[in-house]
Amino acid sequence: MECPPPVRREDGEIDWAEAARKYLDVVSSGHEGAAVRATLEIKRMASHAPDPAVRLAVWALVGLLDRSPPPRLQAAASQALCSVVRVDGGKFADEIVDAGFLPVAQRLLPESEEVPQRILLRCLSCILSFHATSRVVFARGGGAEVILDLFQGCSGATKRHLVEILSALALVREVRRLILADGKVEYLVEAISFGNLVSRTRAAQSAGLLGASTNGRSSLVEMGAPLALVGLMRDGDSSAKLVAANALGIVSSIGHHLPLIHQSGAIPLYAELLKENPPLAKDIVEDVFCILVSIRDNTGAVLENLAGILTGQDDLAISSAVDVLLALAEYKSIITFLKSSGVITVLVDLLQNRNHDVVEKVTGVVAQLSYEECIREGLMEAGAIPILLDLLHGRLEDLTEFAAAEALINFSEDPSCREYAPMLQRVPELSAFRDHLFHFRISQGHLIQSARRRIEQRLNSQ
């Protein structure tokens, strides 16, 4: 039996309703060759047919798959559905799901031959990518178990489709629990390194979610997730890099896992991310770097990479790096590394930057660091005091001048800075600000003492 040509009206246009009826007749005829050719014709015309005809074809194709057709016909129907689901960014994905494709695919996959199975997986991957709700439906209907079982011994294109499906399903919490409980975390880690970039990014996001638990974090580290995430940070686009950086910070941030970030070469990648995408990356980099400096071996590398950004020409990246440094300044562990990393000299140079936002932030960092005696020495050697004096113009309501005055008062109270003492004593702004700072420090001391008393009272009452 031959596949009938499309029926055309008098005006030359295809009569889609008649074409659909003839297709159903061919499929029902039992002639496999004609049915395959007719089905592949749907694949060819999917992007040209009007919406009503495509919707009718979708139901016919899913119905055909539901009857467990021979391998060639199953492959043709899956190919046709693949073409349909890709039309206009997945506009018919809803229709395919409503037609019952998900339970049909779930039933057919374990029993299908290699080629039809691979094409069916490709179709399923497309639907799960375009149709977020279908991930929950498929996962909760037992589909996740089917996909995980298919991983054993698979390779090539089949494996590629499986990891892309898993990366979509793993965004569902129940699937992540299943992956962890069944010891299948290695498949999620594979998905970070294998497949298209969108899929790898989804897998990295899922790894970050799974890493929020202690067991999940340990399993991910054991299966090599840190290296996979570093790989995505290296070769992903800007969105993928952000997701991978966030996930790596979560997965590797606790206890004995923490050195993995440094060992995997991720610190320069975090710094690069801050340079490439300062506003979005700042919070991620700040969180990770603040955790990293708790280990001495990491601190030098963190500060050296920040110094590299601070010596650059991009004011937005410099501003974000200063924000990160301001957060790090609260950690005593960085103090001994600040001089050797070159950060102090760079900060003093930045006090003369033409960007007001940069100068304001840098002055705040200098003020905070000036409470440390060894840092004051480094700042003085780098010529900070004259520059800070130049920033004073008698308007202490300005944040830059406020911070500059705070730093200069700290210098004036340091015996090692006696050569500058006469100069500092003649600055009227410092005399006015000294009283303000004195009362501020007293109030802060009272707050700390009050907090300690409340804590002690609470502990004693337990």
Domain boundaries, the chain: 1-130
Q: The tokens of 211 are what?
A: 């890493």
Residue 399 pLDDT > 90, yes or no? no
Residue 444 pLDDT > 70, yes or no? no
CATH topology of domain 1-130: Leucine-rich Repeat Variant (1.25.10)
User: pLDDT at position 459, please?
Assistant: 43
Residue 8 pLDDT > 70, yes or no? no
Grade residue 353 by pLDDT with cuts at 50, 70 and 90: confident
Residue 9 pLDDT > 80, yes or no? no
Average pLDDT, stretch 110-132? 94
Grade residue 410 by pLDDT with cuts at 50, 70 and 90: confident
How many other CB atoms are there within 10 angstroms of residue 322's CB atom?
24
Grade residue 82 by pLDDT with cuts at 50, 70 and 90: very high
What does each C-alpha distance from 242 to 48, 205, 247, 276, 306 come to in angstroms?
38, 10, 9, 10, 18
Residue 264 pLDDT > 90, yes or no? no
Calculate the average pLDDT of the chain. 86
> 149-188, pLDDT tens digit by residue?
999 888 889 999 999 999 999 999 999 999 999 999 999 9
User: pLDDT at position 263, please?
Assistant: 83
> 284-326, pLDDT tens digit by residue?
999 999 988 888 888 999 999 999 999 999 999 999 999 999 9
Q: Measured between alpha carbons, how far is 63 from 57 in angstroms, rounded to an integer?
A: 10
> 14-69, pLDDT tens digit by residue?
666 677 777 777 777 767 888 888 888 888 887 778 888 888 889 999 999 999 99
> 177-235, pLDDT tens digit by residue?
999 999 999 999 999 999 999 999 999 999 999 999 999 999 999 999 999 999 999 99
